[in-house]
Amino acid sequence: MFSQMVQAGLDEFLFVFVFFLVGLVLPLSMVIINYVLGPRTRGERRLASYESGMPPIGTAWMQFGASYYIFCLIFLAFDVDVLYLFPVLIAYQRSTGAFELLELFIFLLLIGLAITYAWRKGAFKWR
């Protein structure tokens, strides 16, 4: 009985394991292929800055407004929240309890409140 439950659990999360493996193998293989096949030149042009094919003008030490960083942090936070929702929705698809649904709605309510708070503070306005 216990072995059947373990096997059923492994079958359910096989796609997550395959997705994890592809997420590891694909970037690592790209880095290795680039290292093996890429050119190995050194010199002044190799160490120069590259900005869309144009030679850089001025120094790289310039100040940016804090709104860019705040917008980036908010995007990153909500991106992680959305990535969290995919496995949660898959898990809730298999359960029928109202408690799990209530937890999901509470989570979505908190995300909505955070978006509303950031919006009212003006974090989404470019100045």
Helix, strand, coil percent values for the chain (each to nearest 5): 70, 0, 25
pLDDT tens, residue by residue, 104-121: 888 889 888 888 888 888
Q: Which two tokens stand for residue 4?
A: 């059947």
Residue 66 domain-assigned? yes
What phi, psi does 66 have (nearest 5°)? -65, -20
Residue 55 domain-assigned? yes
Task: Report how far residue 46's alpha carbon sits from residue 49's, in angstroms, rounded to the nearest whole number.
Answer: 8
Query: Under a CB-based contact definition with an 8 Å cutoff, are residues 99 and 66 in contact?
Result: no
For residue 55, the domain's CATH number is 1.20.58
Please tell me the pTM assigned to this model. 0.44
Residue 95 domain-assigned? yes
The pLDDT assigned to 30 comes to 95
The DSSP secondary-structure symbol of 63 reads: -
The pLDDT assigned to 51 comes to 64
Average pLDDT rounded to a whole number, residues 91-101: 72
Residue 127 domain-assigned? no
Residue 44 domain-assigned? yes
Residues in Cβ contact with 5 at an 8 Å cutoff, skipping those fewer than 6 apart: none
Query: Under a CB-based contact definition with an 8 Å cutoff, are residues 93 and 33 in contact?
Result: no
On average, the pLDDT of the chain sits at: 79
Chain centroid, CA 27 distance in Å: 15
Q: Which residue has the tokens 């709104």?
A: 67
Residue 9 domain-assigned? yes
pLDDT tens, residue by residue, 14-51: 878 888 999 999 999 999 999 999 877 777 776 676 66
The pLDDT assigned to 6 comes to 63
Residue 67's domain comprises 2-120
Residue 126 domain-assigned? no
pLDDT more than 70, % of the chain: 78
Residue 41 domain-assigned? yes
Domain count, the chain: 1
